[in-house]
Structure 1
Amino acid sequence: MNELKSLEHATLKVPYEVFNKRYRNAQRVLDVEARQVGSAAGELDAATRKQSVTTGEIDTLLGGMVEKLTTMKRKASEAITEELQAAIVCKKRLEHLKEQAAALAEPSAPQAKPTSYTSQTSLNQWRKVRLDRLLVDYFLRTGYYESANKLADARGLRDLTNVDIYAAAAEVEAELKNKRTARCLQWCADNKSKLRKLNSNMEFKIRIQEFIELVREDKRLEAVRYAKKHFSTYEEDQLKDIQHCMGMLAFPKDTEVEPYRVLLCASRWAALVAQFRREHARLLHPAALGALGVLLQLGLAALHTPQCARAAEPACPACQPPLRALAARLPHAHVSHSRLLCRISRDPLNEHNHPMVLPNGQVYGEKALKEMMKEHGSIICPKTKEVFCMKRVEKVYVM
């Protein structure tokens, strides 16, 4: 359960935040509509108190009030529908996470033996669904939106993943790739408070790029006015970037002088796309690494030993490409109580399966060597292919 709490926090947090945001938006909209209805009711009440009021005026005021009530009802209905959709997603994700807890709890019940196979089957099925979810999340984080949508649709995981939320992010990315910033600035405005908590400089970088584009188009006076409007207030760490921008005004757009040449480079747009992708992922979950990356690193770290750097073991995932390159940067596994395993059968070497050493120094389990004797009539070392008889094999005692 600790693993679920730490790794699956975003699974429930994201739809809850969506639900909370829709609820607050609905409250603001309904408050505005309620004030308009109240204002219309006040006008109607004031008109009825007049002695010279006509039926036409009353009819017009009533029509306006009915129209405002109809609008309020429609918006309330839309808000309730959106909130219900978000609540249903929260419920489905919660039920999905509870499935693992139920599957793990069943074998520990007093009469759980007949159902242990069923519990393991359901647990394996849950893990398969979870792996698909993690893959979808990885695709979304790295910008493979089409692959994420196809996998989510094929496995029926739209409610268990954030593909619909990332659809808006994909549109913003497409706009940035086309060198348009309006959608990204709107996204920054919609999430201004959260981005400020994350110390994000996404909006500032977009403003810098808009200034650069004005300079690139030789609209230098307009660029100065733009700088006065958006760069008049700045953070301490932003001053250097602003100074570089203002220095661009003294150089032509095809300058080779640094750092102005880099600022005018078209590759900055790709950097903005990558930054927006990171900021959007941080907005949903502050962790820099997705759940798939965390689990992969945990698994490799548990298998990574100093032996992996000296000799690659065919049965060790941490020794095989491409995982070997990932495991090389991870710390070695800390095992306080290590176990010896037979390299043939992978069974533990203990008092029931004594370690046996061949004349060439290779150590294997007694059971595996006896099975080899029954099958081949001799012992063939899997590593050196040398052939030995059982009499030349000696028992090893580990202190």
Structure 2
Amino acid sequence: MANNKLNTDGIFLLEQPFVRVPYENYRRIFRTSQRNVEKDFGPLQNASNDLVNRARAGTLNDEEALKSIDSMIGRVESLKRKLSDLNENAGKPTLDVMRERLNHLATIESIQSTAEPEFSRWADTRLDRWLVDWTLRNGKERTAKRIARDKDIETLVDIDLFSDIKRIEDALARHSCTEALAWCSENKSALRKIKSTLEFELRLQEFIELARQRRSEEAIAYAKKYLVPWQGTHFEEIKHASALFAFPPTTTCGPYKRLYDSNRWSNLVRSFRLAIYDLNTIPNEPLLHLALYAGLASLKLPACYDIQTKNVDCPVCDGESAALRAANGKESDVVMTSASTEFNHDVAQPNSATLTTMAISSPMSGSTSVVTPASFSSESQPLGLGKLAEEVPFSHHFNSTIVCRITGKVMDGDNMPMAFPNGNVYSLEAMQDMAAKNNNFVTCPRTGTTCTFSELRKVFIS
């Protein structure tokens, strides 16, 4: 039960954006309501003050007073309808989403062990959420909607947010800044808090496009209206861009050729994505990748990246590279593993066990060999999960173990590693069993080398 104890804090580490996204949506709705109130209450207050002043001065008759009051009542009723519609169409649905998500997270607090069925169900739902997140980030919106609908998790995923992201990114891909600038206007205060320069970059790009089309007068007017307010922090960029009038779009002058470069639009797409992710505390990597990183980091060994030690049964070794295909079908000797996870990495290993920064010493040869990350084969580039694993550190084992390829059992002081004259290593138990069945002769499964049991030598790990 102790090993199955639920790590609630660890689970919540990845759940901040899960709650933050609807919270940020509701904040925007609240700000919109606040702007509507301020916009309509200003004229109301002015009309009320004017009515009081005229009444005190004795210049207000009953008919004018009733007309002024009716006008104020009409304005208040209009504001009430506007706020009510906003709440029904946006505020209430967002609150319902927040409530659903908080209830989903609250389920964890009542679960004590990962072995409980409730946790399995919760974890399945979490995986579905992560799959939807991954599909949305990769532009597979229809697939995401289908998964959300089939799994009944529409309120637990951010399809609307990523739809907006895709809409704006598509506009930028069409060389239009209009949608992105509208988004910046809606989130001006939040962007200012995180010191984002996205709006300036968009304004600068629009100025560059005017210069590209040689519309000089419009470009100058645009710069005065939208770029000059940024001169306190971006004076050098503005000064640099102003010289575009002297250079045509076909210029070969490096600094101005880069300003005219169409790849700037791709940079704007990335800048926008980083800004909106930052505002909603969404990680740049898919949540599915972050979860996989944690598991792969505990399995990743140098053996996973060696052409002769790859194994398709290991997640880190995943991928059908040419090196892996060349190694398929061959046998191996000993595998280095952690105490809790025993994946065989030694496919087609010509010598003794490949260990993570460990040395294998043999009294027979008097030599010691160490395998380190520097010895990786350049021909064996990982694919699939192995590609993800490239970005995580190697697993750190306080107590490393080696496993016999024949029996699959850990070799230790009671089951010593035994080395053939050719250097291949198997467990004492496997060798004794083989010798008992073959008149004291043992055969290396990989090379077919045969010798007597007495010719085997004990291997000591240092």
TM-score (norm 2): 0.69
Q: CA deviation at 1:248?
A: 1.6
2:102 to 83, 94, 97: 94
* Cross-structure match for 1:298: 294
1:1-399 correspondence runs (5 A)? 1-30=8-37, 32-33=39-40, 53-54=62-63, 60=67, 63-81=70-88, 82-103=90-111, 105-106=112-113, 119=116, 121-234=117-230, 238-285=234-281, 287-310=283-306, 311-314=308-311, 315-321=313-319, 322=383, 323-343=385-405, 348-349=410-411, 354=415, 357=418, 359=420, 361-363=423-425, 383-384=446-447
1:51-87 superposed Cα distances (whole Å, 9 cap, x missing partner): 8534xx6775565455334323323322433332222
8 A contact 2:214–2:245 mirrored in 1: no
1:155-192 superposed Cα distances (whole Å, 9 cap, x missing partner): 33321111112222222222222222122112112222
Q: CA deviation at 1:260?
A: 2.0
TM-score (norm 1): 0.78
1:327-353 superposed Cα distances (whole Å, 9 cap, x missing partner): 33432211223344444675555688x
Give the root-mean-square deviation of aligned CA atoms: 4.0
8 A contact 1:26–1:79 mirrored in 2: yes
Take 2:396 and 2:23, find their aligned partners in 1: how far apart are those partners?
Answer: 38
Q: CA deviation at 1:42?
A: 7.1
Q: 1:325 to 1:370 in 2, by over 3 A?
A: farther
8 A contact 1:356–1:393 mirrored in 2: no
Q: 1:394 to 1:207 in 2, by over 3 A?
A: same
Structure with the higher fraction of residues in helix conformation: 1
8 A contact 2:100–2:155 mirrored in 1: yes
8 A contact 2:211–2:219 mirrored in 1: yes
8 A contact 1:355–1:363 mirrored in 2: no
Take 2:43 and 2:411, find their aligned partners in 1: how far apart are those partners?
Answer: 81
SS at match of 2:195: coil
Q: CA deviation at 1:11?
A: 1.0
Q: 1:202 to 1:142 in 2, by over 3 A?
A: farther
Q: CA deviation at 1:382?
A: 6.2
Instruction: Determine what percentage of the aligned residue pairs are the same residue.
Output: 30
Extract unaligned runs of 5+ from structure 1.
Answer: 108-115
Task: Give aligned pairs, total.
Answer: 383
In structure 1, what residue type is equivalent to 2:288?
Answer: L
In structure 2, what residue type is equivalent to 1:284?
Answer: N
In structure 1, what residue type is equivalent to 2:97?
Answer: V
In structure 2, what residue type is equivalent to 1:93?
Answer: R
Take 1:388 and 1:267, find their aligned partners in 2: how far apart are those partners?
Answer: 66
Q: CA deviation at 1:214?
A: 0.8
8 A contact 1:303–1:318 mirrored in 2: yes
Q: Which stretch has the larger CA shift, 71-80 or 218-227?
A: 71-80
Q: CA deviation at 1:219?
A: 0.7
Take 2:126 and 2:38, find their aligned partners in 1: how far apart are those partners?
Answer: 41
8 A contact 2:418–2:428 mirrored in 1: no
